[in-house]
Structure 1
Amino acid sequence: MTATEEQLDERDSAVDVAAVDAPPAPDVDAVVAHEHYPARGGGEVVADTLADVFDAPVVTGWLADADYSTHDPTELLADSPANVLRSLFGNPLVRDLFYMFAWESAPPLRDHDVILQSGNAPTWYVPDTEQTIVKYVHSPPRNPFDLFWRETAETAGWRQLLQPGYVADRLYKKAARQLWKNRTDAVDVWVCNSEVVAKRTRKYLGVPDEKIRVVYPPVAVDDYEPRDGGDYLLFLSRLAPSKHVGTAIEAVRGTDHELVIAGDGAEREVAEQAAATEPNITYRGYVPDDEKRELLQGARGLVFLAEQEDFGMVPVEAMAAGTPVIGVAEGFTKYQLRGGGNGLLVEREADDVRAAADRLRDDGVAWDAAELHAFAAQFSEPRFAAEMQAVVQEAVNATKLEVQLRDP
């Protein structure tokens, strides 16, 4: 058993105590600074939950759709001349250049004592001396660091060096590696969403261990009624290339496994085409929370193939619903899944996923629905609230300025 698996077991056994003995919310004047709301995903859930826990307003760089937040964030882009470029904010180069300037001043943050940063862009903020900065880290920037090799696997040859786009991309990533390291000292406490992200934060940003805490994201475990069984496999995810919906499709093509795909994103057409040509594949598009719960509770298993996942809220939601997971043996997924217990670990190959689907159909897993739900409970919303309250109180206490002057 790895150190991370032991920590998961310790948290699992202590989850009820953490929920019952939660400290009172610190009496602090806090504001949540969330990078942006380009969609409704795990990072957005964390930001909105932080706002609920600390009764704090939300400031964000860019809000693509009002429905993506359960709050009414103050948007930095709205009051900026750069608002005329809103249609280009799907491009990370445009977005990041704006954030470098917009977040460093961010006037809506100036009147608060505690800044709860969510995501990377708020790191540019230059705080007042008396402000306490607690950063919730979903992951350090990935393309300049741990995923750099994926796009630049080979040393650039003369053909690449003649392509302006390639050169600009390499220069951007090189600059990003240096600039991010120069902004770490202003953060008082780095709260990482998993031990995997904590390791990246140490390795790539040079943050010392004493400034790092791990608090798993909040999952609405109590909203799920665990059920046994099911007659279909579910792929539920933002449909980005890194999620590999195509591998799930190839795994069930020509088999008797029914696959339901739910989600939206850049690979939507891949899912739509598969659903139009394969009788055992259904595409549901983006689904609201109530429909998502029904899909998870009725599935035989969740197929989760994301690359080097930081944490993975969807697998936890599946287990809360009593549904085991077929997941890749990398990132935090390999620590969430206990082979044969709450799911099956696979390589990201269609043949391997297909074999796991056969095994799940024929033999199931060792844990029943109630045990899966109990394992998921360690990632609950009350646990998140209790641990974040404790971290923020610790940070506020540690950053208080004590001045000892003698009376005459």
Structure 2
Amino acid sequence: MGLKLAVCHDLLSVKGGAERVVLTVARAFRAEVFTLLYDPSQAFEEARGLKIHTLGEWKLPQDRRFYPWIYPFFHGWGILKFLGLDLRGYDAVFTSGKLGIFAKGEVTLHYCHSPPRFLYDLRPIVSLYLGRRYGSPVRALAELWWGGWRKMDEWAARRPDLILANSLEVKKRIWRYYGREAEVVYPPVKVEKFRMKGGGEYFLAVQRPSPEKRIELLLRIFKRLPGERLVLVGSYIDPDYTAWLEEKMRGMGNVSWLKEVSERELVELYAGCKALVHTARREDFGMAPVEAMASGKPVIAVNEGGVRETVVHGKTGLLVDPPYLKNFVRILRGFDPSLFSPRECRRRAEEFSEERFVRRMKELLGRMLG
């Protein structure tokens, strides 16, 4: 397809599911990428060799204690940068992210991982957290900023010619908050990079430690299972929340927290685990469960959100109903991974392969451009 495509995404300075989607699209269509920040040392290796344009000279400080205070200004700056981006001359524009959505071309396709949850369904939880951490004045200022941003977000969501949702769960949110239909295109997982290995010595959790991921629930579960090991992988930008979690983990000799791991190390962690434990609140899609299944490992997850679209209960894992603490403890105590077929898990993961994703994207862009 001789298509001149521009890809717009918030940041390429982290390794996440959204960034994986953006880079897959950029590589498949040889697209140019527009982003606010690009840090080759923190981005996926696939970003190297792509034509990446950064939209300014804003540099976030090394000391993450300042992030909560800087982010409102950074987000406002980012919105203005994408609004002012001249994308004439491109056949189509692929947008992604809570800031990238403000970019617009002649033909625009927006890939939505979720309407920003801190503006919508998780707003009460995040607001309560801010009040407890920083006090009522900060909470009140945040509420004012979120109110204005939500109106801008709703306006921006009316502009794309087509919105894609990364799951049925997100498709429902798009209709609820934006009043728009969306087509579901599941995000890509590079299944072939994961390897299957028998056995397992620990349970694994791969998720950004933030309030909506319910890390506190994980810790309460494993506090009741001192004979079982948990390895938690993921980092979070809020140093106060990180310090609070570290305090909660103090004295828990069966829990290890690896904040930064390489892709190769992550592949080995998946290969060496008994199962993935996933506790996120109404997860949008959830890349980690699919990556675990690609490694031949079962997934034990809360029965809510996008994970219900990927994990086949009883075949590639278990979906746990409330009360979560009681039921997770019961299931994990003496859990036998041999009851699940590694090949069955792998086959399920292959249904979310990169090849299928690219093929679907080509079909959609071809249809939009006639």
TM-score bin (small chain): 0.7 to 0.9
Structure 1 residues 171 and 278, CA, compared in 2 at 3 Å: closer, same or farther? Answer: closer
Residues 27-83 of structure 1 deviation map (CA, whole Å, 9 limit, x = unaligned): 2100111122352111111111111111112110233564314326311122xxxx3
| Bigger radius of gyration among the two | 1
**Residue 313 of structure 1 corresponds to which residue in structure 2?**
287
Give the whole-Å Cα distance in 1 for the aligned partners of 2:75 and 2:253.
43
Q: 2:213 aligns with which of 243, 256, 271?
A: 243
Do residues 219 (structure 1) and 193 (structure 2) align? no
Aligned to 1:122: 100
Matches of 1:259 and 1:42, distance apart in 2: 23
Relative to the length of structure 2, the TM-score reads 0.86
Shift of 1:152: 5.6
* Residue pair 2:202, 2:229 contacting (<8 A) in 1 also: yes
Contact 1:324 1:365 in 2 (8 A): no
What's the counterpart of residue 258 of structure 1?
A: 229
Aligned to 1:23: none
SS at structure 2 position matched to 1:43:
helix
Q: 2:159 aligns with which of 163, 186, 189?
A: 186
Judged with a 3 Å threshold, the aligned counterparts in structure 2 of structure 1 residues 270 and 360 are, in CA distance, closer, same or farther, namely farther
Partner letter of residue 92 of structure 1? Answer: Y
Take 1:301 and 1:166, find their aligned partners in 2: how far apart are those partners? 38
Identical aligned residues as a percent: 27
Which runs of 5 or more residues in structure 1 are unaligned?
Answer: 1-25, 157-161, 398-408
Paired residue for 1:367, among 322, 335, 340?
Answer: 340
1:94–1:391 CA distance, 2 compared to 1 (3 A):
same
Q: Which residue of 2 aligns with 1:169?
A: 142
- 2:32 partner amino acid: P
> Are residues 368 and 85 of structure 1, via their aligned partners in 2, closer, same or farther at CA, if it must alter by over 3 Å?
closer
Distance 1:189 1:89, change over 3 A: farther
Match of 2:169 in 1: 196
TM-score, structure 1 length as denominator? Answer: 0.79
Task: For residue 60 of structure 1, give the secondary structure of its aligned residue in structure 2.
Answer: strand
Q: 1:89 to 1:48 in 2, by over 3 A?
A: farther
Cα offset, 1:144, TM superposition: 1.7
Looking at structure 2, the residues matched to 387 and 356 of structure 1 have their Cα atoms a distance apart, in angstroms, of 37
Please show how residues 6-405 of structure 1 align to structure 2 within 5 Å. Answer: 26-63=1-38, 66-69=41-44, 70-71=46-47, 73-78=52-57, 83=58, 91-107=70-86, 109-127=87-105, 131-151=106-126, 163-207=136-180, 209=181, 212-253=182-223, 255-265=226-236, 266=238, 268-269=242-243, 277-346=251-320, 347=322, 349-358=324-333, 360-361=335-336, 364=337, 366-397=339-370
Q: Secondary structure in 2 aligned to 1:182?
A: helix
Deviates more, 1:94-103 or 1:314-323: 94-103
Task: State the number of aligned residues.
Answer: 352
Structure 1 contact 235–245 (Cα < 8 Å) conserved? no
CA RMSD, aligned part only? 2.6
Encode CA deviations 1:93-150: one digit per residue, 9 max, x unaligned: 122211221111124x3442211111121222243xxx21111111112122121232
**Structure 2: tracts of 5 or more residues without a match:** none
Deviations 1:348-404 (A, max 9, x none): 74333221212523xx4753000000011111010111011111111111xxxxxxx
In the aligned structure 2, how far is the partner of 1:311 from the partner of 1:271? 25
Q: Which letter maps to 2:77?
A: F
Q: Secondary structure at the match of 1:120?
A: coil
SS of 2:282's equivalent in the other structure is coil
Contact 1:328 1:348 in 2 (8 A): no
Q: Structure 2: how far apart are the matches of 1:298 and 1:276?
A: 25
Q: Distance in 1 between matches of 2:18 and 2:253?
A: 35
Q: Secondary structure at the match of 1:379?
A: coil
Q: 1:332 aligns to what SS in structure 2?
A: helix
Higher relative contact order (CA 8 A, sep 6+): 1
SS at match of 2:11: coil
**Which stretch shows the higher mean deviation, 89-98 or 38-47?**
89-98
Secondary structure of the residue aligned to 1:44 is helix
- Change in 2 beyond 3 A, CA 1:116/1:137: same
What is the one-letter code of the residue matched to 1:220?
A: K
User: Given the superposition, is the C-alpha separation of residues 89 and 257 from structure 1 closer, same or farther in structure 2, using an over 3 Å criterion?
Assistant: closer
Task: Find the aligned partners of 1:279 and 1:163 in 2 and give their Cα distance.
Answer: 36
Give the aligned residue type for 2:160.
Answer: V
Q: Is the 8 A contact 2:95 2:103 kept in 1?
A: no
Q: CA 1:86–1:372 in structure 2 vs 1: closer, same or farther (change >3 Å)?
A: same
Shift of the 142–279 alpha-carbon distance from structure 1 to 2, 3 Å rule, reads closer
Question: 2:110, 2:350 → 1: CA distance?
Answer: 24
- Whole-angstrom CA distance in 2 between matches of 1:341 and 1:332: 17
Contact 1:89 1:95 in 2 (8 A): no
